[in-house]
Structure 1
Amino acid sequence: MRVLIVEDEPALAGAVRDGLRLAAIAADTAGDGHVALEMLDINAYDVAVLDRDIPGPSGDAIAQAIVASGSGLPILMLTAADRLDDKASGFELGADDYLTKPFEMRELILRIRALARRAPRSTPPVHELAGIRLDPFRREVYRDGRYVALTRKQFAVLQVLVEAGGGVISAEELLERAWDENADPFTNAVRITVSSLRKRLGEPWVILTVPGVGYRIGTEGIDAEGISGESDETADETTDATTPGRTGNA
């Protein structure tokens, strides 16, 4: 899941971003309305968290732009205004939920996940493919009925691959969707995470490498198309979930 946080207070924006990342939610931040609109035009998000009172186009104007785009992107208004009239006007502009400051990070995370579940989807909330059962809401993964404990980053990568339904996902796309805009495009974090994820899921390998193209979920091991289940490199389990540019678990 990837979320856009539109908030002009750097300390609050950073705290929300870090809190979401700890919950395995990739988060980008925008400090004003102009940057927010540019990021919405470039990137695909699952939820937009908007402060109404920001420089440039207001949070209200951004909400109107999202609604007018027809994208169906869920909107959570985040503001200090707690009057009923303020909330009513926010909902009239297209907001799907409303949270007043100050707030608990856990509540924000629960609301974001609830909005993401309600958003129009072409795939069911629980995904099953090649013996893997992945539940995004409960953050649980099973392989052939066996529970598999994953780090936050491993889960995010597996979710992207499983939701692709067996299609090939490039390393660049994995970096974009499982990390965030601060990810170093030259990092080897994707290969390291995929390699350690294979080990967690166990043999036979279910994450296959398409040489020179990317990765996909499958059970054939090696087939006529040259798709291989070989590990890309030897991974250190202590670094598999490192976010590019940061240390420790992502």
Structure 2
Amino acid sequence: MTKQSFIEQIAPAAVEDMIKTGVLASITIAQACLESAWGQSAPGNNLFGIKGSGTTQTTKEFINGKWVSIETGFRVYNDWIGSIKDHSEFLLQNSRYRKAGFFDCCTKGDYQGAARALQSANYATDPQYAAKLIEIIENNKFNAYDQEAYYMKEVIQKLQNQISTLESQQLTLLKTAEAHIEKINALEKTASMPVPEWAERAVATAVHYGLIDSPEGRSHDFYSLITIIHRKGLI
């Protein structure tokens, strides 16, 4: 596997993860490159050397001023995407990284500060860990992936705002429609009503003279007109 093919495989997941968690994509990619030797050494699909109980491996730690080989447990994943997701969860769940200012640096897009925060929070024992991450990022221009994530996040936010606006407009239209329906129902009631008490005498007279044959179910205006005609003595 070439370095470029490794980057192409993990970069999209790192960008997506940054949008969700805030962990800089450049840091995620650089750590994966450094910890797994660009994908060449990732037992159990563990790209970041995160310790756990999945499998036992021999690794080197910088202890008391010198490198020593030790055997320790490491987490195991189904694939690299799972490893990337767990990497961010690991950083989020361990408060020492937040206290070291890692997430503050990520918010500012400061990959150099984020790399130093990882080292100060003892992510790795290598005293050159931060310098190595920064060198990998700058030599490969991995901060471009941070900009991609910022752009995608902005697009997503705009879409969410548009959806919220449309939902608000939909709610307004529904309320307007409900109000119109209420008015229509009220009109239907007045357009088809029984003979009101005040019009009974006038309607009876109109029926008597054959002016109308089915007085029930007429409108309010109809009964008013018959009543006026009756009061004028026309029927």
- Bigger radius of gyration, 1 or 2? 2
TM-score normalised per structure 1: 0.28
Compare the two structures and name the one with the higher strand fraction. 1
